[in-house]
Copies of this chain bind each other. A is one copy, B any other.
Amino acid sequence: MGSLEDRNPHHFNPLDLEEFRTQAYQTIDFIINYYQNIETFPVLSQAQPGFLKSSFPNTPPNKPQPFQTTLQDVQTKLMPGLTHWLSPNFFAYFPSTISTAGFLGEMLCTAFNTVGFNWLASPASTELEILVMDWMAKMLRLPETFMFCGSGGGVLHGTTSEAMLCTLVAARDRALAVDPNRDVNKLVVYGSDQTHSTYAKACKIAGIAPENIRTICTTLGSEFGLEPRLVSEAMEADVAAGLKPIYLCATVGTTSSTAVDPVDGLADVARRFGVWFHVDAAYAGSACICPEAGLITGSLSTDPEYLKNKQSESNSVVDFKDWQVGTGRRFKAIRLWMIFQMYGVANLQSHIRSDIHLAKGFEKMVNSDSRFEIVVPRRFALVCFRLNPPRPKSKPKPVELLNRKLLEWVNSTGRLYMTHSIVGGIYFLRFAVGATLTEDRHVAAAWEVISEGADHVLRDES
């Protein structure tokens, strides 16, 4: 590299502060304009594979493009390929959210750009994360054993998968440490057929043999919750076969239908077999900030193993790099802190209740139309329903096909976006409320479109 000489570089200032101010203001205005007009775009992008290729040269520009050109490109070249996750008419998957406080927190995180891999590298990053993790645990009314101020603690992971992977590796290594053969092929993990698919992926990354990932069936009868008795039987059978159960994953709010596994009963089974018990509350965890959801958060406290680790036992500083896969870490805590600080717990609770309120409104509309039915009872802000019109016995109903057609028709209008799932062999539509900008009127308008779609597919069919 001796040849990487100074070639008399011409002046290039990537952080001219006045330019930064002007362009950042303009970007804010661009974003506000986007939110103001977000309802004019088809919610689900209508782009075809490869749409972007012809819009840009296939080599990077050698010279700078004017900022206005860049914003123009975002508007004209990228926007048609965006699915508008923040649209008030986005009812697919689980919606993502945005808030002023969250956005400002993200700005500060980017602006400081600290790399808080250990305490020393930026004390405020670590200590603020400790603070907000305990605030969060208190808001969820978890026992002190889950908090830094007790004997526990928490960490902000980038994804659910990473949280699963870190606990899986801990459970795996604990088992291997007492096995003279260190035979990973004897280790077995458990979940249900409703556990998120990312769980099986995390298990494979951790080196669990695919045939040792037990997927226990759930049924409509138990509202798709994982039955402790079945887990216990599966573990007994595995032990009898010379295998070693190490990990049980329960879910509070499954992705398909927001089913809630009976955490209490499962914790008992986990304790009896001495396995690590992990609770995935990626979706419904936030609902637990409302005291009326106490049944669930109460159950969480039955599990002293969850989140326990050697760092929590120590009284010295926390090095968060040891709590995650990577080494580098952004100052994510400041975003969460801004949300607490600028909104307060009462408003966050109100926000959750408002989502539930909207979902209940939608549920009523479904119930008021005899052509539709609710497939599983609504728990949070997801309504699982399907078109299932009464018909003479002589004419069997192609219910799944009808609903597939309905979904396609609805999404193709671009006026809203929903997705589907299948549980217990039943194909259904998922109406997931939670986008920040969604109001009563959007839910009502969405129902209009769905109802019109039902007219359409039923007319076609007859």
Contacts and interface: CB of A to CB of B under 8 A. Distances in A.
B60 A344 contact: yes
A317 B47 CA distance: 12
B12 A354 contact: yes
Contact of A292 (B3, B25, B27, B149): B3
How many monomers of this chain does the complex have? 2
A40 interface: no
Nearest to A69: B341
A346 to B, nearest CB: 5
Contact of A70 (B110, B342, B353): B342
Contacts of A222: none
Interface string A156-170: 001111100100010
A124 B347 contact: no
Interface in A279-316: 284, 287, 290, 292-293, 295-296, 316
A125 to B, nearest CB: 8
Residue of A19, A47, A160 most packed against chain B (CB within 10 A): A47
18 contacts: A1-B296, A4-B292, A4-B293, A4-B353, A14-B351, A15-B436, A21-B32, A25-B28, A45-B124, A49-B316, A51-B123, A56-B131, A59-B138, A62-B344, A62-B346, A161-B326, A169-B204, A169-B205
Contact of A114 (B3, B83, B101, B326): B83
A334 interface: yes
B9 A350 contact: yes
A115 interface: yes
Nearest to A107: B27
B9 A353 contact: yes
A140 to B, nearest CB: 11
A1 B47 CA distance: 39
Contact of A14 (B100, B119, B134, B340): B100
B209 A207 contact: no
Given A73-B341, A83-B122, 4 more contacts: A4-B380, A24-B28, A106-B110, A205-B205
A99 interface: yes
Residue of A6, A10, A29, A185 most packed against chain B (CB within 10 A): A6
A383 to B, nearest CB: 13
Given A1-B260, A82-B114, A172-B207, A58 B149 contact: yes
Contact of A124 (B47, B325, B350): B47
A221 interface: no
A30 to B, nearest CB: 8
Contacts of A354: 6, 9, 12
A98 interface: yes
